[in-house]
Amino acid sequence: MKTLRKIIEIDEELCDGCGQCVTGCDEGALKVINGKAKVVSETFCDGLGACIGECPTGALRIVEREAAPFDEEAARRHVALKQGEPALACGCPSTHIQTFATLSPCDAANRPVHIGGGASALTHWPIQIRLIPPTAPFLKGADLLVLADCTAVSFPTLHRDLLPGKVVMMGCPKFDDVQDYVNRFADIFRAADIKSVTTVVMEVPCCAGLPSIVRRGMEAAGKDIPLEEVMLSTRGEILKRS
């Protein structure tokens, strides 16, 4: 039986299929299908609109209409089943939250060392700042490594020297929305009990704002978290650590 209640509505003309709303919905009511976000079941949507703030295009809104009642228990079972889905199941693999298995100390010690090679130290997905929700499980109690995009290409031993033991977040302080970054970090610092942050930038002026963005996020969240700043040359050498 349907009842008059609040529920999410998606404007497909505005939706670009980024999938950020999918990771912002704790009940699993949303899914990207054929490049557009869809409500997979009315019974999974609680109508509170937590996903709205994740949408960069304003495609989501709350409306009041006749809909099936929200079923919290069904939503909980649905989310539990989704944990076993492959990365492509959400329709947008760039936003599918994943935590990767890490090697045991014994396995790591026995792994051969190859000059110029080695295994990836990445422990999670996604890695772009704009795609990581503040509630991502891999953020809890994490040491963050916040990279300006270009540093990953410039620094040849990133996975060996900077990434191990850290949760990485990448973005470009020149081309992306600075205030959106500040808000995102503030939400993460409020929710995730972050232990430390290391920012890595290039020596070029457009990178200089990244540490400031992180600090502004801390201030907005009322947090004082240890922050280390690393600057690389355009040839990938560490020029400064502070």
| Cα–Cα distance for residue pair 57/12, rounded to 1 Å | 11
Single out the residue of 206, 204, 212 nearest to residue 229, CA to CA. Answer: 212
- Could you tell me if 91 and 40 are in contact, meaning their C-beta atoms sit under 8 angstroms apart? no
pTM exceeds cut of 0.75: no
DSSP string, 41-62: -GGG--SS-TTGGG-SS--EEE
- Where in the chain is CATH 3.30.70.20? 3-95
- Each residue's pLDDT expressed in tens, for the chain with a length of 242 residues: 889 999 999 999 999 888 888 877 888 899 888 888 999 999 999 998 888 877 888 999 999 999 999 998 888 888 877 655 543 344 454 555 566 555 555 555 455 454 445 678 888 888 999 888 888 889 999 999 999 999 999 999 999 999 999 999 999 988 888 999 999 999 999 999 999 999 999 999 888 899 999 999 999 999 999 999 999 999 999 999 98
Terminal-to-terminal C-alpha distance of the chain:
62
C-beta of residue 19 within 8 angstroms of C-beta of residue 91: yes
- Domain 3-95 = CATH 3.30.70.20: yes
Q: How far apart are CA 234 and CA 242, in angstroms?
A: 18
Looking at residue 233, what is its pLDDT? 93
* Coil, helix or strand at residue 152: helix
Q: What's the one-letter identity of residue 135?
A: T
The pLDDT, as a whole number, for residue 16 is 85
Q: What is the DSSP letter of 78?
A: H
pLDDT at 77: 85
Pairing of strands 124-125, 238-241: unpaired
Q: How far apart are CA 16 and CA 223, in angstroms?
A: 34
Q: In the numeric block, which tokens belong to residue 144? A: 């963050």
- What does each C-alpha distance from 66 to 40, 61, 174, 196 come to in angstroms? 16, 16, 45, 47
